[in-house]
Amino acid sequence: MTDADNLKRQAAAQALEYVRSGMKLGLGTGSTAKHLVDLLALRVNEGLEVVGVPTSEATRAQAESLGVPLGTLDEHPVLDLCIDGADEVGPDLTLIKGGGGALLREKIVASAAKQMIVIADASKKVEVLGTFPLPIEVVDFGVAAIRRGIDRAARNAGCHGLLTLRRRPDGHVFVTDQGHLILDAAYHSITNPQALAAELSNVPGVVEHGLFINLASRVILAGAGGVTVIDR
């Protein structure tokens, strides 16, 4: 396991301390969340009783293969806890998410949870969001017009930058689990995430964006110096 992987696993292990039998759990997506599902499966095999609601088909497949009991958000519209990774953690636990392309389901699941815990290696903590390109999920219709709408909206919030249509490693256009496209916005510095979030949400064709505001209540960061827990 690489050093970074080791840190991700430490953060995931710490988050499991907050999981109790009987909980309905939102299960995040990404390499850090993958550790969480691995470790959760070990606890389930020891007798922990939880129901997981996955935020992506990838997480569903992993959890299913490891024997973690799963349900849907329609069956469990209120979750006790959601545990997920993040691409950046900014001031007041604002987040950029969606590097793995699961931001829409992730935001719906996090919003349905009484508490969201973010797990990450310490390199994800930033003073200002935006070094990581902001994923924006859009419908597959009129993308050129949607891009112009996003540019206008971003300018209103003091941001500008290149929008790149996300592609898979094989060159094909990346399509989300919900059948949408992702534009990655290189804004570099998002000084007012609340304003940008409000502007982007108003653009016709934008399904969701990767700014998570007032959702994470706790962040667990694992670094070389140990694990730090930050509460909002």
Q: Which is nearer to ligand 5RP, 33 or 206 (CB)?
A: 33
Q: By CB under 6 A, tell whether 31 contacts ligand 5RP.
A: yes
Find out whether 32 is annotated in a ligand binding site: yes
Q: Which is nearer to ligand 5RP, 29 or 94 (CB)?
A: 29
Burial of 38: CB neighbours in 10 Å, binned 0-12, 13-18, 19+: middle
Q: By CB under 6 A, tell whether 32 contacts ligand 5RP.
A: yes
Q: Say how far apart CA 209 and CA 197 lie, in whole Å.
A: 7
Q: Which is nearer to ligand 5RP, 99 or 193 (CB)?
A: 99
In the set 10, 82, 88, 106, which binds ligand 5RP (CB under 6 A)? Answer: 106
Which residues touch 211 (CB under 8 Å, ≥6 apart)? Answer: 94, 95, 96, 129, 134, 190, 193, 196, 197, 200
Of the ranges 59-67, 98-106, 150-158, 162-170, which one interacts with ligand 5RP (CB under 6 A)?
98-106
One of 17, 49, 57, 106 is an active-site residue; which one?
106
Cα distances (Å, whole numbers) of residue 219 to 14, 15, 56, 94: 11, 9, 21, 10
Q: By CB under 6 A, tell whether 62 contacts ligand 5RP.
A: no
- Tell me whether residue 106 is one of the annotated catalytic residues: yes
Find out whether 84 is annotated in a ligand binding site: yes
